[in-house]
Amino acid sequence: MIKGIAASPGIEIGKAYVLREHSITINKKSIAENTVENEINRLIEAIAKSKIQIEKIKERAEREMGRDKAEIFGAHLMVLEDPVFIDEIKSKIRENRITAENAVYIVSQNYIEMFKNMDDEYLKERASDVKDVSERIIKNILGVPIESLADISEKVVVIAKDLTPSDTAQMNKQNVLAFATDMGGRTSHTAIMARSLEIPAVVGLVDITSQAADGDVVIVDGNKGIVYINPDEDKLREYEKLKQDYVKYRQELKQLKNLPGETRDKVRRVELSANIGTPKDVKGALENGAEGVGLYRTEFLYMDRENLPTEEEQFEAYKEVAESMAPRPIIIRTLDIGGDKKLPYLDMPDELNPFLGWRAIRMCLDRPQILKTQLRAILRASHYGNLKIMYPMVSRVEEIKRANAILKEAMQELRAEGIPFDEKLQVGIMVEIPSAAVIADILVKDVDFFSIGTNDLIQYTLAVDRMNEHISNLYEPLHPAVLRLIKNVIDASHKAGKWTGMCGEMAGDVTAVPILLGMGLDEFSMSASSIPQVKKIIRSLSYDEAKQIAEKALSLERTEEIREMVEGVIVRIK
Ligand code: PEP
Ligand code: MG
């Protein structure tokens, strides 16, 4: 048994597919004159092979993700077919008498440097195309296998070091039963993605990639955060049964789908919403009974592509969500890029501490045109449903004022152009930096609502990296400091007659729910698949009970005592 972090619930049993990173060694020695033509032939064959591979990926991407996203592979084909680039590699082999892989490496490095230093954004982007393509050619010359999740053709458990959002975007979802990764924590993006796809996952397993081999039988228990490799018959039988029980339990919870999120005594009603990353996630949100979208992470619109999405493209996506969820509310978060999410086409600095760096609202205020384009698209879409705007990573009041000034400009432009939008649309902020939580009474004057982003709030409050599996035991939502900050935010909003939601993963954490309910949280937004069990807990408690639990939690001094106390409550409910 290998213990990791439970990242996405559910149990699956299947064959392992280990996604390995193969290292490449470039032979830098000079070659004999009579082998030059042989090297040129190796190059030509590798280019032909690369072309067939990229065309196949492009076709699949067009089919599964649309033309836009497939465009990147068109650019890769262009590099591959560029006669200047290819001829230069051939001359290098001939003139310098070096191996084909070394020539590809040297020539591509020159181009990568040249493109990187250009002022033109479009040309700058070409650097990553050259890098991807040249790596592929080199691997093909050396006969090193190139693996991609797009190639999976049977049902497997994917085992990887880590999965980037673009890995998961390329993946053929029908064939992925579960994930198990070396790296990551409960709130890493692999985990969030797995939950939104409703695929069981265990992350932070440290070295599962070296313990498992292709074809091994693997059990992934996403409820407990454990993985078994080649289990014995007894274990397999036990897990077949657990898997069936879990499916039954989920079906029972689904019966609650159309019931409201209200306490047993009907004294308190809260809103239970879903977090989404793309318009496609709306389906899962509705199936799980979401009453709205408490967080639409728009950065996925900006990722896995070659340039910034236009106002029109964004408008289409936001309108689609607005219409398919109407009349339910949708909170659209403005671009939250940086940290672990980089955009290759924006010149983003390499930072020592990216999570404390140039990201989210900070970047948007430095590049106001990016923010304005997005705000215009959201405003235009607001005519077609119930949209709200939310700024991420706010740490001081000036940021809200500056963002709102840009919003005002966007509104004035639209009015002048005669384009309709919701004049009364609410504007709020994410409270995910401790400074914002502490001065919630000041910030509340400039917002309509707060949404607490606990994924980041916990990491910044406790100084515990949310992605670091070595300290994941210290990443503790029920730490008294975190609870006090949350209480402070809710109270400040209520005092001002406004409301507070939560869109961090804590809102879907069963042990936190009774406390949050008792503290007066107004809206809980989470991975759609967590909604039914949160609803069950809320419907099982009276408001007075919840208030007592919250009061008790705030009075206890140690996390363990708090956890023990709420776990006692949860056990009685189940
Ligand atoms: C958060 O920080 O709690 C949050 C919801 O945002 P993200 O996970 O996208 O950083
Ligand atoms: Mg965040």
Quickly list H helices, 295-367.
Answer: 299-302, 311-325, 360-366
CATH 1.10.1240.10 fits 262-573, yes or no: no
Confidence of residue 197 (pLDDT cuts 50, 70, 90): confident
Where do you find CATH 3.50.30.10 in the chain? 2-20+148-232
Confidence of residue 304 (pLDDT cuts 50, 70, 90): confident
Whether 333 has a pLDDT exceeding 90, the answer reads yes
Choose which residue among 336, 431, 521 to substitute to test ligand 1 binding: the one with the highest number of ligand atoms within 8 A of its C-beta.
336
The CA distance from 315 to 304, in Å, is: 18
Backbone conformation region of residue 306, classed left if phi is above 0, alpha if psi is from -120 to 50, else beta: alpha
Report pLDDT for 124: 66
Q: What is the pLDDT of residues 24-77, one digit of tens each?
A: 888 998 999 999 999 999 999 999 999 998 888 778 767 765 676 567 778 888
Task: For the chain, give the number of residues.
Answer: 574
Whether 510 has a pLDDT exceeding 80, the answer reads yes
Report pLDDT for 230: 97
Neighbouring C-beta atoms of residue 81, cutoff 10 Å: 11
Q: What is the pLDDT of residues 125-168, one digit of tens each?
A: 677 778 878 988 999 999 887 777 777 878 999 999 988 655 66
The CA distance from 527 to 508, in Å, is: 7
Q: Which residue is closest in CA terms to ligand 1's atom 8?
A: 455
* Rounded distance from Cα 357 to ligand 1 centre (Å): 15
Which CATH superfamily hosts domain 33-142? Answer: PtsI, HPr-binding domain (1.10.274.10)
The CA distance from 259 to 397, in Å, is: 39
Return the ligand 1 atom nearest residue 297 CA.
Answer: 9
Q: What is the pLDDT of residues 365-398, one digit of tens each?
A: 999 999 999 999 999 999 999 999 999 999 999 9
Where do you find CATH 3.20.20.60 in the chain? 262-573
The CA distance from 305 to 22, in Å, is: 25
Percent of residues in the chain assigned helix, strand, coil, to nearest 5: 55, 15, 30
Q: How many CA atoms lie within 13 Å of 161's alpha carbon, on the beta-carbon side?
A: 4
420, 383 in Cβ contact below 8 A? yes
Percent of the chain with pLDDT strictly greater than 70: 95
* Rounded distance from Cα 305 to ligand 2 centre (Å): 22
Q: Which residue is closest in CA terms to ligand 1's atom 4?
A: 453
The CA distance from 317 to 293, in Å, is: 14
Where do you find CATH 1.10.274.10 in the chain? 33-142
Q: How far is CA 557 from the centre of its chain?
A: 33
217, 36 in Cβ contact below 8 A? no
Choose which residue among 195, 276, 281, 297 to substitute to test ligand 1 binding: the one with the highest number of ligand atoms within 8 A of its C-beta.
297
* Rounded distance from Cα 549 to ligand 2 centre (Å): 27
Choose which residue among 303, 362, 430 to substitute to test ligand 1 binding: the one with the highest number of ligand atoms within 8 A of its C-beta.
430
Which residues are registered as beta bridge partners of 19? 160
The bridge status of strand 2-3 relative to strand 5-8 is unpaired
Considering the chain, what is the average pLDDT of its residues? 92
Based on the residue annotation, tell me whether 364 is a catalytic residue of this protein. no
Q: Which ligand does the CA of 503 lie closest to? A: 1
The CA distance from 198 to 340, in Å, is: 22
Structure tokens at 279: 């318009």
Return the ligand 1 atom nearest residue 504 CA.
Answer: 3
Peptide bond into 327 cis (omega under 30): yes
The CA distance from 242 to 221, in Å, is: 9
* Rounded distance from Cα 456 to ligand 1 centre (Å): 6
pTM to 2 decimal places: 0.74
Return the ligand 1 atom nearest residue 192 CA.
Answer: 8
Report pLDDT for 181: 94
Report pLDDT for 165: 57
* Rounded distance from Cα 196 to ligand 1 centre (Å): 14
Structure tokens at 153: 């053709």
- DSSP-derived letter for residue 461 is H
The CA distance from 138 to 146, in Å, is: 11
38, 270 in Cβ contact below 8 A? no
Whether 296 has a pLDDT exceeding 80, the answer reads yes
**Exposure pattern of 428-451 as b/e (b: 16+ CB <10 Å)?**
bbbbbbbebbbbbeebbebbbbbb
Report pLDDT for 65: 57
Confidence of residue 188 (pLDDT cuts 50, 70, 90): confident
Q: Catalytic pick from 76, 189, 364, 479? A: 189
Q: Which protein residues touch ligand 1 with a CB less than 6 Å away?
A: 187, 295, 297, 336, 432, 453-456, 503-504
Q: Which residue is closest in CA terms to ligand 1's atom 7?
A: 455
Domain range 2-20+148-232, its CATH number among 3.40.50.300, 3.50.30.10, 3.40.50.1000, 3.40.1360.10 = 3.50.30.10
* Rounded distance from Cα 455 to ligand 1 centre (Å): 5
Burial class (CB in 10 A: 0-12, 13-18, 19+), 453: buried
Based on the residue annotation, tell me whether 189 is a catalytic residue of this protein. yes
Whether 531 has a pLDDT exceeding 60, the answer reads yes
Whether 121 has a pLDDT exceeding 70, the answer reads no
Quickly list H helices, 259-396.
Answer: 282-287, 299-302, 311-325, 360-366, 368-381
The CA distance from 375 to 388, in Å, is: 11
Looking up tokens 């706010």 gives 394
- DSSP-derived letter for residue 346 is S
Whether 263 has a pLDDT exceeding 60, the answer reads yes
Question: Which strands, in side-by-side order, build the sheet including 11-19?
Answer: 2-3, 226-229, 217-221, 11-19, 156-160, 176-181, 201-203, 5-8
Q: Which amino acid is at 153?
A: S
Choose which residue among 195, 295, 451, 455 to substitute to test ligand 1 binding: the one with the highest number of ligand atoms within 8 A of its C-beta.
455
Report pLDDT for 69: 57
Region 338-346: what's the mean pLDDT? 83
* Rounded distance from Cα 128 to ligand 2 centre (Å): 27
Whether 430 has a pLDDT exceeding 80, the answer reads yes
18, 212 in Cβ contact below 8 A? yes
Q: What is the pLDDT of residues 394-425, one digit of tens each?
A: 999 999 999 999 999 999 999 999 999 999 99
Return the ligand 1 atom nearest residue 275 CA.
Answer: 5
Region 109-125: what's the mean pLDDT? 78
Confidence of residue 180 (pLDDT cuts 50, 70, 90): very high
277, 315 in Cβ contact below 8 A? no
Q: Which residue is closest in CA terms to ligand 1's atom 6?
A: 453
